[in-house]
Structure 1
């Protein structure tokens, strides 16, 4: 709907109705009021929290596998003309084979690596402090020595206190441990079932959801679903592919330089790389600590591996596999990571970016719809909607 000419010439329209700042403040005010009202009746949402806590984890895990496996299922269905159900069943059989191999070979190896690494952390820390003391012994800045020594003492005390605290908590939280194991077990049992039906019938879901909307809004809603699906699928497939490539690069590099626990640290780097931008840096901290505890030369070699990996990841792998599909500024990514991490912990750090991407699509679509319905902010496009319509009519009459 377009405002009449008299209304557009009024000061109230120019300074309030057609003012983005005022409109934004009003929207923020309404959101704050809604949040305040919801906080007063939060007990109504308790059943939803319980339901999400029960089914949220398997659904999220199944969703990640769905976006990673669905292109393969679509490709095989198109190339082989075999029924989709049979293709999914064959993929599940292959995944079960990988799972059996993992339980028989990989998990025992990984458990041994983790146990040995944890047992040797005090030795590595002692060697690390010894090497750092030797490096700093001959420097000309005694203040730096004092700062490093104080930091070393504080960190050592923190390790001791943390280990004793965790030991005390371990004896007093057996029930919570049993509950966590039960929750993980239920998730592992239910997520394959959810994944099977997502792969089998997931492509029908957009059409089913669209059917609930009026016909005039169905095309817009379907376009929104397609944009959301593209954002999530590009991010998940790209991020998992980049993380796998990072794990391979670190594994090769650490093996070449002979870093202790190199394959385990490379696996850790791949997992940490699921966190955008800061994942690789977090993964390198234990690797550099282990390298420096062995020798300064190994530390320099580990730094070189890290530099080469960052160059390849930033200029070759990420642009090819991930690209700029999310169109999110790096500063925005860091803000989202910090905010989601503080609110939801590790799941927030991992899922915060795709969640923000979905929210961005929804807000953009709602804003475009509101501009179209209200007729406001036409001047932003350089020509109003009414002028565009008149120009089109003029060309038609000619």
Structure 2
């Protein structure tokens, strides 16, 4: 095939892939989650195989433990999270009113805002807003719970995802071997090299960053709860989980925690300092211990590129797009580096170049 034919072929593959995502996005979620679980746990299955278990037994053990831990976590955490979330929503008018009373003297020194100076009017407005928000939340929740399609989708997600994860994890090595056999023989070595680099990026970022998020969610949730901060468990878990987006999780968690601490502990500055210190320690732990050891420095995914991928994926395909964003960003990053290296080693860049290297260079995108 000529270069033009290659480009045409892969362009059509990309078009068909995107159209397939758009048409099937409503049913792909359990399969994407199952594939993610299988990819995440494949190294564990390999270790168990090396220890003497066959692949089916290793897969059954891993998926069973994964489901058991997930179910126990849901049973223990979900009621607490729901209770703290409802308390947060119910107490929102009082918190906003306290926030008004706390900051109004400072605002009065610089700005004359008559509408904010009437505390009772402010409280009434906030109360009306919170009541309307609670009513809308209840309506939405009722529709979600009562909607037959939503129930079917949730049951499908909970049932199909473990099944997909089991079969993909059991057959992972066989599928990789089969796909390798389909590679065009002439370029197989180059495709394998690109695939290994993509796998290195994904393993370094997805597996590593997911582990970092779980550790941070546990750390922030427990420490904020032990400190006595109201809603500390919810704030901590959310902070840890959204740490998948670089810098965003820490910023949102710090603002939320310190904001609640100001309202709850004011003017107890040592306790406010304790809450702020928890995030300082968390950032030191993340930046100097967890990320260097679990994610590594050679994943080749720049934080801005990750944020762009997550926002673009969510905008185009919703939650499914968020799940696919980082893997696709990794693929695009590796292929882009490869394309740039090929260009730099071609006559298009330097007319004196007659041969090209087959190993793409390193770098970030």
For Structure 1 versus Structure 2, the TM-score category normalised by the shorter chain is 0.7 to 0.9
Matches within 5 A, 1:132-211: 132-133=103-104, 136=106, 140-142=109-111, 156=126, 162-163=133-134, 165-166=136-137, 173=143, 177-211=147-181
Q: Secondary structure at the match of 1:360?
A: helix
The TM-score with structure 2 as length reference comes to: 0.77
The Cα of 1:185 is off from its aligned counterpart by 1.5
Which of 279, 286, 302 is 1:329 aligned to? 302
Structure (1 or 2) with the greater helix fraction: 1
User: Is 1:130 the counterpart of 2:119 in the alignment?
Assistant: no
Matches within 5 A, 1:1-398: 49-54=22-27, 56-78=28-50, 80-102=51-73, 104-133=75-104, 136=106, 140-142=109-111, 156=126, 162-163=133-134, 165-166=136-137, 173=143, 177-296=147-266, 297=269, 298-349=271-322, 351-366=324-339, 375-378=347-350, 384-385=353-354
The Cα of 1:85 is off from its aligned counterpart by 1.0
Q: Which has the larger radius of gyration?
A: 1
* Aligned-partner Cα distance in 2 for 1:195–1:233: 17
The Cα of 1:274 is off from its aligned counterpart by 2.1
* Aligned-partner Cα distance in 1 for 2:168–2:78: 28
* Aligned-partner Cα distance in 2 for 1:376–1:278: 41
Q: Secondary structure at the match of 1:260?
A: coil
| Structure 1 gaps, min length 5 | 1-29, 389-398
CA offsets per residue over residues 256-309 of structure 1, 9 Å max, x none? 432122223221222221222212222333322321221233433322222222
CA contact (8 A) 2:258 2:275 kept: yes
The TM-score with structure 1 as length reference comes to: 0.72
* Aligned-partner Cα distance in 1 for 2:293–2:114: 47
Q: 1:149 to 1:288 in 2, by over 3 A?
A: farther
* Aligned-partner Cα distance in 2 for 1:249–1:286: 16
| Structure 2 gaps, min length 5 | 1-6, 358-365
Count residues with an aligned counterpart.
Answer: 340
The Cα of 1:133 is off from its aligned counterpart by 2.8
* Aligned-partner Cα distance in 2 for 1:274–1:215: 38
Q: 1:315 to 1:190 in 2, by over 3 A?
A: same
- More deviation in 90-99 or 238-247? 90-99
Q: 1:387 to 1:223 in 2, by over 3 A?
A: closer
- More deviation in 284-293 or 156-165? 156-165
Q: Secondary structure at the match of 1:216?
A: helix
